[in-house]
Structure 1
Amino acid sequence: MTEAVHAAAAPAPVGRYPHARRAGGLLFLSGIGPRDPATDTVPGNVLDAEGRVIARDIAAQTRAVLANVRTVLQASGARWEDLVDVTVYLTDMADFAAYNAVWAEHFPDPAAAPCRTTLGIDALPTPIAIEMKCVATIGRHPTPLSRPAGEGGTIGGADGGVRATDADAPASMKE
């Protein structure tokens, strides 16, 4: 059995779908964009006299998306730390560095950050440059898998789990 979640403080969905859906111990968030829930405007968009986007600030949009994700998580009974997987859609991959910098502000420890995939796409259904699709755990608050440098540990238990240490981490996670 699943349960739909409608977050009153989040921007309204642009279609007939919930903000999120609980299924077992997981929470699946619908694609979330940067629209301001109070004004339905897109932070960082500069419009011409006809209402067309002529410039955008991807950092402002990224911060707004992350705030909206947090709002939906809270309405669903999940925490920021419960995020396990995020798929990010960018309409311009030239925005990657600026978006990635904002991501790092919100997830300063790569070992504690959710898994992430970033895709470059042609367009989104509204005049936004970024959207995120997220999966979080709900109702469980497991012990973090990260450990102090060099201590390592077994992931998966006594039945032959994977041994992980800081030495196994890629250089990009050690910086």
Structure 2
Amino acid sequence: MVNIINSEHAPAAIGPYVQAVDVGNLLFVSGQLPLDPKTNVMPDDVSAQAKQSLANIKAILAAANCQVANIVKTTIFLADMNDFAAVNSAYEQFFKDNNASFPARSCVQVARIPKDAKVEIEVIAAK
């Protein structure tokens, strides 16, 4: 059975997709832009953008009765690989702050991210 997960504490999807899909043992969270769910505005700084994307992911996980510790795979999309160190620092702190192990991860530079964000992050969580 497939369940659609939505959280009012994360920004609404900006296209024909959902925030996450729960398929029983796995939760697939769509790529999260660094949009503040209350204002729909994103910070300018890439570190702040990474933190916001991760906060959005955490809110979606909570809506699916999961925690950061349930994340088993992340994919980070960067507009500029020169931002890797700043994003990596925010990412590392996020997992430490949530007492979670680091999951498997991919990080790639892409030509462009929706809304000209500097970062977008997606995750897979295991229940």
TM-score bracket, normalised by the shorter chain, equals over 0.9
Q: What letter matches 1:74 in structure 2?
A: A
Which AA in structure 1 matches 2:49?
A: Q
1:120 maps to what in 2? 109
Q: Tell me the secondary structure at the aligned position of residue 72 of structure 1.
A: helix
Which structure would you say has the larger RCO, counting Cα contacts within 8 Å and 6 or more residues apart?
Answer: 2
- 3-state SS of the aligned residue for 1:60? helix
What residue is the counterpart of 1:86 in the other structure?
Answer: 74
1:18 equivalent in structure 2: 18
Q: What is the TM-score with the length of structure 2 in the denominator?
A: 0.93
Bigger helix fraction: 2
Q: Distance in 1 between matches of 2:95 and 2:59?
A: 17
User: Which runs of 5 or more residues in structure 2 are unaligned?
Assistant: none
Aligned to 2:63, the other structure's residue is in SS state helix
Q: Does 1:65 align with 2:79?
A: no
Give 1:118 deviation, angstroms. Answer: 0.2
Q: CA deviation at 1:108?
A: 3.6
Unaligned runs of 5+ in 1: 46-56, 139-175
CA RMSD of aligned residues (A): 1.5
* Partner Cα separation in structure 1 for residue 102 and residue 8 of structure 2: 27
Which of 99, 103, 107 is the aligned partner of 2:91?
A: 103
1:107 aligned counterpart, secondary structure: helix
Offset at residue 24 of structure 1 (A): 2.1
- What is the CA–CA distance in structure 2 between the aligned matches of 1:6 and 1:119, rounded to whole Å? 26
- 1:37-94 deviation line (CA, Å, top 9, x unaligned): 0110001x2xxxxxxxxxxx11110111111110000011111100000000000000
Mapped to 2, the partners of 1:104 and 1:5 lie a distance apart of: 26
When Rg is computed on C-alpha atoms for both structures, the one with the higher figure is: 1
Give the conservation status (yes or no) of the 8 Å contact 2:8–2:37.
no
Distance 1:89 1:120 in 2: 6
Paired with 1:127 and 1:29, the residues of 2 have a C-alpha distance of 20
Structure 2 CA distance for aligned equivalents of residues 107 and 39 of structure 1:
25
Partner amino acid, structure 2, of 1:34: P
Seq. identity, %: 35
Aligned to 1:155: none
Instruction: Count matched residues.
Output: 125
| Paired letter, 1:113 | F
- How far residue 127 of structure 1 moved from its aligned partner, in angstroms, is 2.1
Does structure 1 retain, via aligned residues, the 8 Å contact 2:5–2:21?
yes
What's the TM-score once normalised by structure 1's chain length? 0.68
